Structure 1
Amino acid sequence: MPTTRKDQAIATGEGQLCAKLVALDTFRENTVLLARDCAALRPERLRGVRKVEVRSGRGTVLAIPLICDDPNLVAAHEAGLSQPLARRLGARPGEWLQVRPAPPLDTLQAVRAKVAGETLSAAAYDAIARDLAEHRWSDIEISAFLIACASSMTAEETLDLTRAMVAAGDRLTWDRDLVVDKHCIGGVPGNRTSLIVAPIVAAHGLLIPKTSSRAITSPSGTADTMEVLARVDLSEEEMRSVVERCGGCITWGGRVRLSPADDVLISVERPLSIDTPEQMTASILSKKLAAGSTYLVLDIPVGPTAKVRDRREALRLKKLFEFVARRLGLELEVLVTDAAEPIGRGVGPVLEARDVRAVLEGRADAPADLREKALLLAGRLLEADPNMPGGSGAKRARELLESGAAARKLDQIAEAQGPSPVDGRLGGLIHEVLAPTSGRVERIDCLQIAAIARRCGAPSDPGAGVDLLAKTGAQVRKGDPLYRIHGCEALDFGSAVDLAGDNSGYELAS
């Protein structure tokens, strides 16, 4: 009787196992299921080993092993691949894989050094960025790195990390010397100016290939809101096609592998709510450089409940951004703006997309604060045009908005990117938070409003969020609605209502 490949693997113990795709989504983690009686790698060999190396003909990925006692799930000659592992490995069902204990990662020594407060070299950050981009670290290891960097990180280290993150991924180039972009560091609910700025700038004729992140600690990121209007998960080829046709795009940066190490860090930063100045600088600038931007307008909102609380903190952050951008050849203008309250009325993807449409269409109910801030930022970007007379950027931006050119440009971009894959309807569960007394709205807590919107499901549920009905300065009577909570899932909605009941986020003055 002839000897099969399976028999050979069992007989020789050469580490060969047959790939079996398991319907198990482990989110970001690479996980491989091994049988208790695994023919090629005995579980007792894995004691003290946190990872195994899984190699196919197309690459090698490190994975966390789980031991399985159910032969129906994974047999002795099989390696059960979770969905993320199978995708990154490019594995096909039934192909033979080599599985062995993974050698220790040298970069984890750098993490331990960082935990001890040491300054890391540029070479260390290069290696770290490569390992992150190749998904060689577990979430626990990434968390340790983030927390260690939050404790101590120099400006030079921030520069080295930014440069390393750019080098670890792809980098886009364009056939123009001037490629502009705009970014806000976040922390202000509803501040969705990019969806107004990008169409204005593209309508003028400047190139603005805007790649955006999804929300980290907010109820919606630019990509989350744009996804209500159009598809944002574009490949590099698709993105280039949109930019060539429309002069701009508004896409999610993770799909085009621009600074992929940043996407890995963000996925862990989000649940930990970590967003330090150094990580923020490296994240934003690495993405912009990788996208081919040459000129960036950066918005740093400052307010008592914003991400940046005072002017001194804003100045420190501004200088850090300027230092890194200058050393990497990116022309940067930083604007410090007011963030005393949320911008616009909607907080959450569908509600924010509604406000953007209202501004672009010139509707009477469009939020004036969102419109004016978008015009300010668009005007500063237009000033970068060497053919634009100095000081005329703001006027030109207003002309493009009021003429409808910007609205038509967003429609063109949305059509080119493709139809939205998400449900654009507001959540059907509704609760109004009422004024406890009569008086004037004195203050709105950005953090609390954002927390309520996230608690009710935003941005995972695009239709969840908070619709502000009274802004700072408004006179309200007892029982008047201050804002409306929209939810999609009863459990999340109830939790958000409870949170608003404990603290509405509004302060009223008699």
Structure 2
Amino acid sequence: MTVEDHSLRLLLAGIDTYSQPVVYMHEDCHVCRSEGFRALARVRIDCGDRWVIASLNVVTDGDWLPVDAAALSDTAWAALQPGDGARGVFSHPEPPAAASVIRAKVYGERLGQAQFDTIMRDALAQRLSDLDLAAFVTACAADRLDFDETIGLTRAMQGAGETLDWGDRLVLDKHCVGGLPGNRTTPIVVAIVAAAGHLIPKTSSRAITSPAGTADTMEVMAPVALDIPAMRRVVEAQGGCIVWGGGLRLSPVDDILIRIERPLDFDSEGQLVASVLSKKAAAGAKRVVIDIPVGPTAKVRSQAAAAALSARLEAVAEAIGLDLMIQISDGSQPVGQGIGPALEAMDVLKVLRRDPDAPADLRDRALNLARVLLDMGGGTAARHNRARELLDSGEAERRFMAICEAQGGFAEPQFAPHRMPVVAPRDGMVTAIDNRRIARTAKLAGAPQRPRAGVLLRAQRGDTVHRGAPLFEIHAETPGELAYAQDYAASHPAMFRIEEPS
């Protein structure tokens, strides 16, 4: 059989498969039949000097796909970049070496450094299907990675990408482990630390299980999908940046794993540590502060869990050469007023602009983290007021705006066109707010994919409210999404616990 017998015309399917290469073939296609390809099979496609391994979807009905052609998802098309009339040559790929390693982990074996390296290499080369990756993520969930394995995974994730070198300059960084809606301290901290003259090249993720990640919020105000040369130019000019890490190939396998974790709606402690610290090391950071919010509906729910996570973070940081400081913070309720990219961006700007309505809790958290970083950067006790001075004087705001301009230009965040209040069912005091259900409401309203969608809080824990007073507003970009989120909120009235006056 000749190469031509294995080839098909390549068409663009126009289907977004969220970073997973997918190929579509008609069930009567001669290549599909002769090669014995079945649905979800892994298929290698060569086109010129490019190749990709894709998952097969078989078309059983309809005339949209000819039998002598194969349609490629957006991701597969971008990988091959075929020209007009191009043909792809189809074959069975070699079995990935990582498959047996993942199977070993599923059955409870401990993995060594070389085995983690194998998994990361095959994941980066797209030799692993989403089913393979889901098996790996699940096999590492809960407490199934010990300290040595977490160190091995962290090193493997860093080693699979690039590591930035900033020479002999001290590079500072920060991270929050998440689980607390609205806790968008990063843009404020970066602005303060950069204004103080330190280097803080902040790479951030998009949301995994939350209504907004730092990259989602920052993208409302400025471009974040920078490459490494552009990022360097921003940092050299302004001392800091806030960019999306997915475009930089710094721990690139992390973004592949995040793609799997998002629909599963979980991330394990070991993978969380490896994700965070591999990216910090890859960005060239030397001293890092980690914020761990603790609360009954936060990601970390108890002081004991915070202590366990802290111990793992500290062990891995020491092994890879990072100086780490951990801050345990209150995670009992959301931070600020906005939950969702644009609404959180508005909170950030209120703090930087010293607006009288700026959320005090967001301001205080950001100042505390900035103070810690300034001390880690070589400050003394006298510098404890330096962070506040930079914020109150407007220096932090000016530096933030300069960073935005250097990243491609500033844009003012806007409100969504559709809004609906959710009101208190009785008089009383708000004694608890469920972080997870508030976050879920914001996601059902469309966040983070719809940047203006989310939840705007009108009451906090400790506030006295009257029946009919707004507890929060749901913001959405379409009426359907608004109604969807409103239905969820109506069916979960306990997300705000209100105790009646005695």
Normalized against structure 2, the TM-score is what? 0.94
Tell me, in whole angstroms, the C-alpha distance in 2 between the residues paired with 1:43 and 1:264.
32
SS in 2 for 1:483: strand
- What amino acid is aligned across from residue 455 of structure 2 in structure 1? V
- What amino acid is aligned across from residue 436 of structure 1 in structure 2? P
Whether the 8 Å contact between 2:346 and 2:413 is mirrored in structure 1 is: no
Match of 2:458 among 466, 469, 482: 469
Q: What aligned pairs does 1:410-425 form with structure 2 within 5 A after superposition?
A: 410-419=400-409, 424-425=413-414
Number of the residue aligned with 1:93:
84
Aligned-pair CA distance for 1:49: 7.8
In the superposition, relative to structure 1, how do residues 298 and 194 fare at CA in structure 2: closer, same or farther (>3 Å)?
Answer: same
Whether the 8 Å contact between 1:20 and 1:93 is mirrored in structure 2 is: no
Tell me, in whole angstroms, the C-alpha distance in 1 between the residues paired with 2:339 and 2:62.
49
Tell me, in whole angstroms, the C-alpha distance in 1 between the residues paired with 2:168 and 2:267.
33
Tell me, in whole angstroms, the C-alpha distance in 2 between the residues paired with 1:411 and 1:448.
34
Tell me, in whole angstroms, the C-alpha distance in 1 between the residues paired with 2:296 and 2:31.
59
Whether the 8 Å contact between 2:123 and 2:253 is mirrored in structure 1 is: yes
Task: Report the aligned-residue RMSD.
Answer: 2.1
Whether the 8 Å contact between 1:383 and 1:392 is mirrored in structure 2 is: no
In the superposition, relative to structure 1, how do residues 393 and 222 fare at CA in structure 2: closer, same or farther (>3 Å)?
Answer: farther
Number of the residue aligned with 1:135:
126
- What amino acid is aligned across from residue 392 of structure 1 in structure 2? A
Whether the 8 Å contact between 1:381 and 1:393 is mirrored in structure 2 is: no
Number of the residue aligned with 1:458:
447
In the superposition, relative to structure 1, how do residues 332 and 198 fare at CA in structure 2: closer, same or farther (>3 Å)?
Answer: same
SS in 2 for 1:46: coil
Q: What aligned pairs does 1:120-199 form with structure 2 within 5 A after superposition?
A: 120-151=111-142, 152-199=144-191
Aligned-pair CA distance for 1:104: 1.8
Tell me, in whole angstroms, the C-alpha distance in 2 between the residues paired with 1:420 and 1:457.
23
Match of 2:261 among 246, 263, 269: 269
Tell me, in whole angstroms, the C-alpha distance in 2 between the residues paired with 1:293 and 1:308.
25
Aligned-pair CA distance for 1:173: 1.3
Q: What aligned pairs does 1:323-402 form with structure 2 within 5 A after superposition?
A: 323-386=315-378, 388=379, 390-402=380-392
In the superposition, relative to structure 1, how do residues 420 and 147 fare at CA in structure 2: closer, same or farther (>3 Å)?
Answer: farther
Match of 1:446 among 389, 412, 435: 435
Q: Alignment length, in residue pairs?
A: 498
Tell me, in whole angstroms, the C-alpha distance in 2 between the residues paired with 1:407 and 1:469.
26
Q: Which moved more, 1:65-74 or 1:141-150?
A: 65-74
Number of the residue aligned with 1:210:
202
Whether the 8 Å contact between 2:295 and 2:330 is mirrored in structure 1 is: yes
Number of the residue aligned with 2:234:
242
Aligned-pair CA distance for 1:169: 1.1
Number of the residue aligned with 1:64:
55
Whether the 8 Å contact between 2:292 and 2:306 is mirrored in structure 1 is: yes
In the superposition, relative to structure 1, how do residues 32 and 489 fare at CA in structure 2: closer, same or farther (>3 Å)?
Answer: same
In the superposition, relative to structure 1, how do residues 58 and 171 fare at CA in structure 2: closer, same or farther (>3 Å)?
Answer: farther
- Structure 2 residue 33 is matched with structure 1 residue 42: yes
In the superposition, relative to structure 1, how do residues 438 and 213 fare at CA in structure 2: closer, same or farther (>3 Å)?
Answer: same
Number of the residue aligned with 1:285:
277
In the superposition, relative to structure 1, how do residues 8 and 311 fare at CA in structure 2: closer, same or farther (>3 Å)?
Answer: closer
- What amino acid is aligned across from residue 26 of structure 1 in structure 2? T
- Structure 2 residue 70 is matched with structure 1 residue 103: no
Aligned-pair CA distance for 1:31: 1.4
SS in 2 for 1:333: strand
Number of the residue aligned with 1:4:
none
Whether the 8 Å contact between 2:420 and 2:475 is mirrored in structure 1 is: yes
SS in 2 for 1:493: helix
Tell me, in whole angstroms, the C-alpha distance in 2 between the residues paired with 1:97 and 1:298.
48
Number of the residue aligned with 2:487:
498
In the superposition, relative to structure 1, how do residues 59 and 130 fare at CA in structure 2: closer, same or farther (>3 Å)?
Answer: farther
Tell me, in whole angstroms, the C-alpha distance in 2 between the residues paired with 1:209 and 1:147.
32
- What amino acid is aligned across from residue 412 of structure 1 in structure 2? A
- What amino acid is aligned across from residue 198 of structure 1 in structure 2? V
- Structure 2 residue 465 is matched with structure 1 residue 489: no
Tell me, in whole angstroms, the C-alpha distance in 2 between the residues paired with 1:445 and 1:493.
20
Consecutive unaligned residues in structure 1, runs of 5 or more: 1-6
What is the percentage of aligned positions where both structures have the same residue?
Answer: 44
Q: Which moved more, 1:452-461 or 1:127-136?
A: 127-136
Normalized against structure 1, the TM-score is what? 0.93
Q: Which moved more, 1:311-320 or 1:270-279?
A: 270-279
Tell me, in whole angstroms, the C-alpha distance in 2 between the residues paired with 1:217 and 1:24.
23
Deviations 1:439-489 (A, max 9, x none): 111111111111111111111111111111111111111211111111112
Tell me, in whole angstroms, the C-alpha distance in 2 between the residues paired with 1:364 and 1:66.
56
Aligned-pair CA distance for 1:92: 3.0
Number of the residue aligned with 1:259:
251
Whether the 8 Å contact between 1:9 and 1:39 is mirrored in structure 2 is: no
Q: Which moved more, 1:217-226 or 1:39-48?
A: 39-48
Match of 1:118 among 104, 109, 112: 109
SS in 2 for 1:383: helix
Match of 1:429 among 412, 418, 422: 418
Whether the 8 Å contact between 2:44 and 2:51 is mirrored in structure 1 is: yes
SS in 2 for 1:80: strand
Match of 2:74 among 76, 80, 83: 83
- Structure 2 residue 17 is matched with structure 1 residue 30: no
Aligned-pair CA distance for 1:24: 2.6
In the superposition, relative to structure 1, how do residues 118 and 363 fare at CA in structure 2: closer, same or farther (>3 Å)?
Answer: same
Tell me, in whole angstroms, the C-alpha distance in 1 between the residues paired with 2:39 and 2:103.
18
Tell me, in whole angstroms, the C-alpha distance in 2 between the residues paired with 1:99 and 1:316.
49
Number of the residue aligned with 1:3:
none
Deviations 1:182-201 (A, max 9, x none): 10000111100001000000
Deviations 1:39-66 (A, max 9, x none): 5563552259821111234443211123
Runs of 4+ in 1 over 6 A off after TM superposition: 69-72
Tell me, in whole angstroms, the C-alpha distance in 2 between the residues paired with 1:41 and 1:434.
58
Q: Which moved more, 1:41-50 or 1:358-367?
A: 41-50
SS in 2 for 1:99: strand
Tell me, in whole angstroms, the C-alpha distance in 1 between the residues paired with 2:315 and 2:296.
26
In the superposition, relative to structure 1, how do residues 72 and 160 fare at CA in structure 2: closer, same or farther (>3 Å)?
Answer: same
Tell me, in whole angstroms, the C-alpha distance in 2 between the residues paired with 1:23 and 1:508.
49
